[in-house]
């Protein structure tokens, strides 16, 4: 099976599974493990690449990509914080720490945020990113890196739609005709950052950290600021004007500056061809 064929099959599996979860009343936690389940099915059953070490190595889990960890964590935190600052400046929300921010003093917040990011990175963000930037993105690189980064982000966003449309668990505030397109734009643009991190380091971990930092920042924003839910959603939430505009501007810069990434071998990051199981296979 070709790289693009593997990408399409993976995506079909992930979308079917998340649709079943949403239609049967499953939780968002269950929905978020469907990308990793789809990736494992592809590796072990469909292409059988997972019966070799190189198949698992294609997910980018074997390298840490440490040099871009600060970028992966600080950029999403800054983007979401900017949205909160604008909402407060416009009088849409006011400072009112509750939850973790309310229980602990500001001096403890950096440690608590870091702990939350680490927890998310080892759980739900990891299960998603193994699928999106671990499995899918490298297989889309056959289309070119710019297209691959954009398309993987957009596909990630569309994958959320069954949960958005069939349940009230995600993006409940605001007019769906406005919120959904803005959300898709946010995830597509944010996906460019995560894809860039993945391809620049040949590691999925920076993308995992960026995903975690984004999610943790969104939750903390809701705990730090008290405002009308719909107005906050339009300004500072995941479909908010400020985060969307900031991610889009950042994505444009990264896409313009993108050059072919090189893996440790000196060649562009690629996916190993499918191979039959060998005696030395894992």
Q: What tokens does 52 get? A: 């070799």
Q: pLDDT at position 260, please?
A: 63
Q: pLDDT at position 269, please?
A: 52
Q: Output the CA angle 198-200-201, nearest 5 degrees.
A: 70
Burial 77-102 (b: 16+ CB within 10 A, else e): bebbbebbebbbeeebbeeebeebbe
Mapped onto helix, strand or coil, the DSSP state of residue 139 is helix
Q: Measured between alpha carbons, how far is 202 from 81 in angstroms, rounded to an integer?
A: 28
Q: What is the mean pLDDT of each run of 10 residues along the chain (282 residues)?
A: 94 97 90 96 93 91 95 97 93 85 87 95 96 97 95 97 90 88 97 97 97 95 86 90 97 87 44 41 35
Q: How many CA atoms lie within 13 A of 89 on its CB side?
A: 9
Q: pLDDT at position 225, please?
A: 86
Q: pLDDT at position 104, please?
A: 85
Q: Is 1 exposed, middle or buried (0-12, 13-18, 19+ CB in 10 A)?
A: middle
Q: Across-strand partners of 226?
A: 94
Maximum Cα interatomic distance, the chain, rounded to a whole number of Å: 66
């Amino acid at each position: 099976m070709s790289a693009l064929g593997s990408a399409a099959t993976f995506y079909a599996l992930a979308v079917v599974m998340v649709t079943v979860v949403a239609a049967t009343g499953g939780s968002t936690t269950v929905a978020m493990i469907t990308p990793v389940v789809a990736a494992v099915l592809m590796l072990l059953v469909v292409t059988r690449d997972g019966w070799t070490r190189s198949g698992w190595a294609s997910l980018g889990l074997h390298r840490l990509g440490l040099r871009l960890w600060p970028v992966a964590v600080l950029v999403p935190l800054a983007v979401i914080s900017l949205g909160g600052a604008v909402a407060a400046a416009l009088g849409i929300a006011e400072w009112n720490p509750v939850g973790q921010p309310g229980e602990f003093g500001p001096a403890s917040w950096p440690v608590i945020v870091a702990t939350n990011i680490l927890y998310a990175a080892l759980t739900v963000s990891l299960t998603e990113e193994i699928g999106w930037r671990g499995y899918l993105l490298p297989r889309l690189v056959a289309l070119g890196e710019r297209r691959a980064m954009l398309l993987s982000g957009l596909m990630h966003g569309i994958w959320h739609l069954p949960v958005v449309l069939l349940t009230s668990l995600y993006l409940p505030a605001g007019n769906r005709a406005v919120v959904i397109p803005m959300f898709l734009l946010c995830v597509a643009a944010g996906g460019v950052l995560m894809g860039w991190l993945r391809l620049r380091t040949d590691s999925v971990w920076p993308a995992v950290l960026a995903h975690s930092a984004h999610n943790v920042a969104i939750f903390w924003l809701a705990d730090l600021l008290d405002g009308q839910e719909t107005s906050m959603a339009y300004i500072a939430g995941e479909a908010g004007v400020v985060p969307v505009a900031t991610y889009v501007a950042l994505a444009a810069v990264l896409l313009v500056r993108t050059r072919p990434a090189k893996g440790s071998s000196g060649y562009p990051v690629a996916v190993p061809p499918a191979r039959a199981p060998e005696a030395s296979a894992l």
